[in-house]
Amino acid sequence: MSTDEAVLREAVMAALRTVRDPELGDDLVSLEMIKNVTVRDGQVHVVVELTTPACPQKAAIGQNVEKAVAGVAGIEQVTVELTARVRGAPAPTELLPDVRNIVAVGAGKGGVGKSTVSVLLAVGLARAGAKVGLMDADVYGPSIPGMLGIEAAQPEVAGERIVPVEAAGLKVISIGLMIPPGEAVIWRGPMIHNAIRQFIEHVDWGDLDYLIVDLPPGTGDVPLTLAQTIPMTGAVVVCTPQKVALADAMRAARMYEKLNVPVLGMIENMSYFVAPDTGVEYDLFGKDGVWRAAEQARIPFLGAIPINVAIRVSGDEGTPQSVFERNPQGVSEAVTGVVQQVAARISVHQRRRQAEPGEKT
């Protein structure tokens, strides 16, 4: 590199220090997101490493980088390459050292679509380019295999490790893959505790950016076992807008706080219905109930998912990818927005943990 190009590169780096990540709140250079800057004959190539492939600000960051660098005197052309590397905790967990983020998806009561949201969240992250696992910890009602179309699959055993079933770009484990179809699970607390520990300690999850854990509804044994066994990145609470569901959801949120599990945010499911023939929106269970509850509790609101036939069909047919491949009444856009917001909150949380490793976040 010539002296002139070295000087120009320093000017480019100075310009990049003016570009901030809207979610993380600091400049890209300080965040160590600028991975390479090449300057040659007035042309600049900048490699930006995002903290998640599902970054909701991806396009804005790319545009801001291009605009800032283009404003440097002597620059004729700018190309920006966006890559991603998901950050994890400052110290990896002993039991799952190659899993960067463990995210529980819970609900205060049944029937709010928690498992559906778990599947859509996991599939959405995987489609964005992340390495994702899905643990069905809803022992009494293991619906994940059906939603992924793998009811007949059985996990293999390699040595002393259980190999997850792969479906829709995910690594999946569920008690529903280990018992005969339709058989009821009639277990007391200690058996549930042992099953969850097996899913953590004896499953070969491998290298994952995100492990999504679908919890049973309520505030029972499973969340307690998880919190006592592994340090979770955080929990997402799923709720519908009506008052009775909101009251139970807030109890679940308080439970996570008592277990020292950060609440990453709340998702409003079955939020509204858009009639396919008229385009009229109906608020079947009320409007903005979860948003108001989250705001009052100072918990991030992660978005709303509508009632839509496409979501129901995807669950019945075991084809969750179809929700993202079509966009009837804006359902794909809504679900993708929720996925991106969850990913963003995880990145923000991990950034805080890295900045203040001795602090509770």
pLDDT (tens digit per residue) in 224-267: 888 888 889 999 999 999 888 898 999 999 999 999 999 999 99
Domain 102-355, CATH: 3.40.50.300
**Cα 352 from Cα 23, distance rounded (Å):** 12
Q: Which residues of the chain have pLDDT under 50?
A: 357, 359-361
Residues 6+ apart with CB under 8 A from 213: 102, 103, 104, 105, 118, 135, 137, 226, 232
Assigned architecture for domain 3-84: 2-Layer Sandwich (3.30)
Burial (Cβ within 10 Å: 0-12, 13-18, ≥19) of residue 198: middle
Domain ranges, ordered by start, for the chain: 3-84, 102-355
* pLDDT in the model for residue 355: 75
Token readout for 71 is 């404003």
Residues 6+ away with beta carbon under 8 Å from 23: 55, 56, 57, 344, 347, 348
Predicted confidence at residue 1, as pLDDT, reads 56
Longest CA span, the chain: 74
